[in-house]
């Protein structure tokens, strides 16, 4: 009997100890503090890159599964932020567009401030079939213009998607090339030509 009581006491004590060690999820502030403690300003890369926009905070809060009304509100605001070419010219040189798509330089701590940013498009997408090294995080863009055509609606959609991808997918992981100042307006024109020009390797 005494042996049973002793064993019972040990079990109770063990369970009590486990209960006191139960995991408590850190708060958002605690998590951010830990993340920021792992980073520091270095070269052109500053710690303020960890600061989220209201849209990014919402996507984090809802784990990319936003309520329908909130998603619509955020996408509408993102679309309103898009700056279309003032001169109405959407297209540049697809050859330059291909170089931009291939280039992954720019905005890294090891880059000079005057480094011309690339788009690094091939990291996530297939574009020209001649390039066999590409990522598949995003959909294939091969034959993008051939499939969709170049109507005014498609041209404006493509520009808006490049400028601020959140216009059509609030929690998209694609960079906001125009809105975030990653690519210039001229660079965006070249990428537009790469995607939509019938003579571009993307559409061959």
Kindly compute the dihedral angle of the four CA atoms of residues 138, 201, 156, 179, in this order, to the nearest 10 degrees.
60
Torsional sign, CA 148, 152, 155, 158: negative
Q: CA-based Rg of the chain, rounded to a whole angstrom?
A: 25
Judge whether 95 lies within some domain: yes
Mean pLDDT on 57-75:
96
* Residue-level pLDDT at 132: 95
Q: Residue 78's domain spans which residues? A: 34-204
For position 167, which CATH number holds?
A: 1.10.760.10
pLDDT surpassing 70 at residue 114 = yes
Judge whether 8 lies within some domain: no
Mean pLDDT on 50-61:
94
* Residue-level pLDDT at 25: 87
Q: How far apart, in whole angstroms, are the C-alpha atoms of residue 33 and residue 197? A: 47
Judge whether 183 lies within some domain: yes
Q: How confident is the model at residue 173 (pLDDT cuts 50, 70, 90)?
A: very high
Judge whether 20 lies within some domain: no
Mean pLDDT on 65-89:
97
> How does pLDDT run across 148-169, given as a tens digit for each residue?
999 999 999 999 999 999 999 9
Total of domains in the chain: 1
Residue 81's H or E segment, with its range, is none
């Amino acid at each position: 009997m005494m042996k049973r009581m002793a064993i019972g006491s040990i079990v109770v004590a063990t369970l009590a100890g486990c209960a006191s060690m139960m995991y408590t999820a850190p708060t958002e502030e605690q998590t951010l503090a830990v993340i920021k403690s792992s980073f520091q300003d270095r070269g052109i890369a500053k710690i303020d890159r960890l600061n989220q926009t209201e849209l990014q905070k919402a996507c984090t809060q809802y784990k990319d599964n936003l309520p329908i009304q909130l998603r619509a509100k955020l996408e509408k605001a993102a679309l309103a932020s898009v700056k279309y070419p003032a001169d109405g010219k959407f297209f540049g040189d697809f050859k330059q567009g291909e170089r931009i798509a291939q280039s992954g330089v720019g905005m890294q701590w090891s880059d000079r401030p005057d480094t011309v940013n690339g788009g690094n498009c091939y990291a996530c997408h297939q574009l020209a079939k001649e390039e066999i090294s590409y990522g598949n995080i995003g959909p294939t863009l091969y034959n993008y213009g051939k499939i969709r055509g170049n109507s005014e609606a498609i041209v404006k959609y493509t520009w808006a998607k490049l400028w601020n991808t959140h216009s059509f997918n609030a929690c998209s992981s694609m960079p906001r090339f125009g809105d975030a100042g990653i690519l210039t307006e001229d660079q965006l024109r070249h990428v537009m030509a790469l995607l939509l020009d019938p003579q571009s390797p993307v559409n061959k």
